[in-house]
Chain A
Amino acid sequence: MTIDTFSSFVAGYSVAAVLVVVYVATLWVRSRRLRTRAEQRASGLAHFG
């Protein structure tokens, strides 16, 4: 007998997709912040900030 498990299948695939996409987003955000920090330091704004 086949168990009705479609919702669990969708939930599992969704959880995996969300976690990976969120992690990629954190990589992108952290890189952007570092870039901004580097620009601030390079322009000397950090000495006044």
Chain B
Amino acid sequence: MTAISLNRPTVAPAASAFDRRVVDWVLWVALASVAAVYVRAAAFTPLEAKQGAVQKLYYLHFPTALGAYIAVGITALGSIAYLWLHDERADRLAEAGAEVAAVFLVVVMSMGSIWGHVIWGTWWAWWDPRLALTLFLWFVVIAYLVLRGAIDDPGMRGRYSAVLGILGALLIPFIHLSVYFTDAHLHPMPIMFKPERPSLPSEMLITFLIAFVAFTFLTIALIRARYRLGVQRDAVLAMEEERGAA
């Protein structure tokens, strides 16, 4: 790795920002744990009797959805913290969560479409409330990121986007509970998160729990990496502003 040589002590924060790698061992371990989930789900988890192999998408689809919820939740918490404390670190955390949520929601909807095409006979159904609300959440997350890119003033950017970040998180309980709102839905009733015990056989349940831990770890590792990227970007921008003012 090339070291940054800085000849002015006033720009030292830029150098320290690059001391911490964006893609480091934590992210590699998280990716390896997800790879282990692939192996466990593909080779060491029994086939579901009716759906066959495609049911194994469940071990990625649902944990990824939960990862997206966690990322959106972190965006909301960061946004609340920013509105309260006006700390740019909270704003940066919220931004990191939103970007990871955007990626995870694309993964969720892509896998869901592939699964739905086999099981439901359609790639997409607008009338399914969970599908529509998940897409709506993705639009809110994208709007959050676009809004951030459109506003130059950091204070205004942080305040406006924080409001959107909090509103996005309010959709999560509606997405989870949407199957209770109407009888017209393709998604099944909750298998894991419901008042009764999870209705999965033990081998499938263990695979799901491993996948849940691995994808939660990946979510946090990606947000951590994206946060560090934000630190680097802000350091470079501060450096350029300082040079420009000099």
Q: Footprint of B on A, CB under 8 Å?
A: 1-6, 8-9, 11-13, 15-17, 19-20, 23-24, 27-28, 30-31, 34-35, 37-39, 41-43, 46-47
Residue of A nearest to B41 (CB): A13
Q: Is the C-beta of B206 less than 8 angstroms from some C-beta in chain A? A: no
Verify A13–B107 contact, CB threshold 8 A: no
Interface string of B214-245 (1 = CB under 8 A from A): 00001000100110110011011001100100
Q: Chain B nearest CB: distance from A44 CB in Å?
A: 8
Cβ-based interface call for B22 (8 A): yes
0/1 interface trace, chain B 1-27, chain A, CB 8 Å (1 if under): 010111110010011001001110001
Shortest beta-carbon distance from B33 to chain A in Å: 12
Classify chain B: how many residues form its interface, as a range: 35 or more
Shortest Cβ distance from residue B110 to the other chain A in the assembled complex, whole angstroms: 5
Contact present for B226 and A35 (CB under 8 Å): no
**Majority-rule SS of B interface residues:** helix
Across-interface contacts of B195 in A (CB, < 8 A) = none
B11 touches A42 (CB 8 A): yes
Q: Shortest distance in angstroms between A30's beta carbon and chain B's nearest beta carbon?
A: 6
- Offer 11 A-B interface pairs, CB within 8 angstroms, sorted by A: A2-B47, A2-B52, A5-B54, A8-B53, A12-B61, A13-B60, A24-B27, A24-B225, A30-B22, A38-B15, A38-B236
- Note all chain A residues with C-beta closer than 8 A to B222: 23-24, 27
Shortest beta-carbon distance, A28 to chain B, in Å? 5
Complex interface: stretch among B78-86, B111-119, B148-156: B111-119
Interface of B with A (CB < 8 Å)? 2, 4-8, 11, 14-15, 18, 21-23, 27, 31, 34, 38, 42, 47, 49-57, 60-61, 64, 103, 106-107, 110-111, 114-115, 117-119, 218, 222, 225-226, 228-229, 232-233, 235-236, 239-240, 243
Measured between alpha carbons, how far is A19 from B236 in the docked complex, in Å? Answer: 28
Q: Which residues of B contact A8 (CB under 8 A)?
A: 53-54, 57, 114-115, 117-118
Q: In the complex, how many angstroms separate the beta carbon of B88 from the nearest chain A beta carbon?
A: 17
CA distance A35 to B14 in the complex (A): 9
Nearest first, the 7 closest Cβ-Cβ pairs linking A and B are A5-B54, A9-B53, A31-B22, A2-B52, A12-B57, A6-B53, A12-B111
Cβ-neighbour of B52 out of A4, A16, A24, A28 (below 8 A): A4
Known: A38-B18, A38-B235. A16 touches B107 (CB 8 A): yes
